[in-house]
Amino acid sequence: MTARLVAGKVLGALGTLAFVVVFNFFLFRVVESNPVATLYRGRNLTDAQREELTRQFGLDGSKLEQFWRYMEQTLQLNFGRSYATNQPVIDEIWAATPQTLALVGTSTVLAMAIGLAMGVVAGWRRGTAHDRVLTGISIVTWSTPEFWLGMLLLTVFAVDLGLFPTGGISDPSGPDGGLGELLDQAHHMALPCLTLTIAYLGEYALIMRSSIIDVAREDYLTLARAKGLRDAQVRDRHALRNALLPSTTLIALSFGFVLSGAITVETVFSWPGLGLLTYESLRGPDLPMLQGLFLLFSAAVIVFNLAAELLYPYLDPRVRAR
C-alpha cells in the first residue's frame, strides 16, 4: 500500500471523525433543549437559580456561542460536567473504561477464537453433520437477545443455584487487594462474560463459514492439493489466510465496540462499565455524559475500522497490488 493511499484513508477517517464531532453537538441539543427544566422538575427554583444552573451547564448564550465553546472544549478533551453528579465527564468515563475493557474485551477474544474455529470447521466440511450442528448453534446464539440470555443465566446460575454473584464487580466484604480481590472480580465477571461470549460467537462463526466456502472454490487450492499437500495443510496454509479478510472487518469493528460495552448486559449484571454508565445517562438525560460517550464510541469504531483497512494488504497481496 502506497503512502498516498494510506494518507487518503487517514484523512478520510479524520473527516468522518470531524463530522461526528459536529453532529454530536446538534444531536443532543435537538433531543433536549432545556435540561435544567427536566432535571429540576417539581422544584421551586428562583429565576436566579435557573440562570446560574444554565450557566454552570454551559447552556447560556446562543446556539452558535455554545457550539464554539463545545468545539474548543472538545479539542481539549473537556466534555463538560455531568448533570447527575456535577463531576467532569472525562473523569467518570476513564473510571468506567477499565471495567468495560476487561469484560467486553475478554468476551470478544473468546467469542472470536471459538467462533472462527467453528466457522472454519463448518465451512470446510460443508454439508456434513459437523456443518449442520455448528451452523445451527451459530444461528441460535446469534439470534438470541443478549439481555434475555443474561437474565436466563443470572436466574439459573446466580439466583437458583447460587454459584455466582447476582451483580456488581466485587463483594464489599471480600478481600481487599492482591490475588484474592482479582479472583473475586473474576468470579463476578464470569456470568456477564459468558453471556457476551455466547451472544457474539455465532456472528464470527457464520461469517467465517461463508468465507471458507467461497475460498474453497478457488483454483489455487486445487493446485495446492495437486502438489500433494494434506487437506489440513491446504486449509491452514492457503484457505484460512484469504478467508480472514471479511472476518478482519468484523473483528476490528468488534474491538471498536469494546469501549461502548454491552449496555443491556452491563445493566442486567450491574457491571460498572461504560454500558451501565450509558444506561444511567439515558435515564437523566445526562447530555454532557451522553455526548462524551457517543464521541468516544464513534472514535473507537472509526480508528479500528481504519486499522482493518490498513491491515488488508498484509493479509491479501491482491489488495496490495491495487
Q: Per-residue pLDDT tens, the chain, 322 aa: give them.
A: 677 777 888 899 899 999 988 888 877 666 555 666 656 665 666 667 667 766 766 666 677 777 888 888 888 888 888 878 878 899 999 999 999 989 988 998 899 899 999 998 898 888 889 899 999 999 999 898 888 999 999 999 999 998 998 888 887 776 777 788 788 889 999 999 999 999 989 989 998 888 888 877 776 776 777 777 676 777 766 677 777 777 777 777 777 777 676 888 999 999 999 989 999 888 877 888 888 898 888 888 888 888 878 877 776 665 555 5
Helix axes 129-143, 178-215, angle to 10 degrees: 120
Return the domain boundaries, the chain. Answer: 87-320
- pTM listed for this prediction: 0.80
Residues 6+ apart with CB under 8 A from 219: none
Domain 87-320 of CATH type 1.10.3720.10: yes
DSSP 49: H
Rounded-to-integer distance, Cα 119 and Cα 116, Å: 5
Give the three-class secondary structure for 81.
Answer: strand
Rounded-to-integer distance, Cα 74 and Cα 156, Å: 45
- Only one residue has cell 463448518, namely 122
Contact by Cβ (8 Å): 252, 308: yes
Q: Which of 16-39 are b and which e, b meaning 16 or more Cβ less than 10 Å from the residue's Cβ?
A: beeebbeebbeebbeebeebbeeb
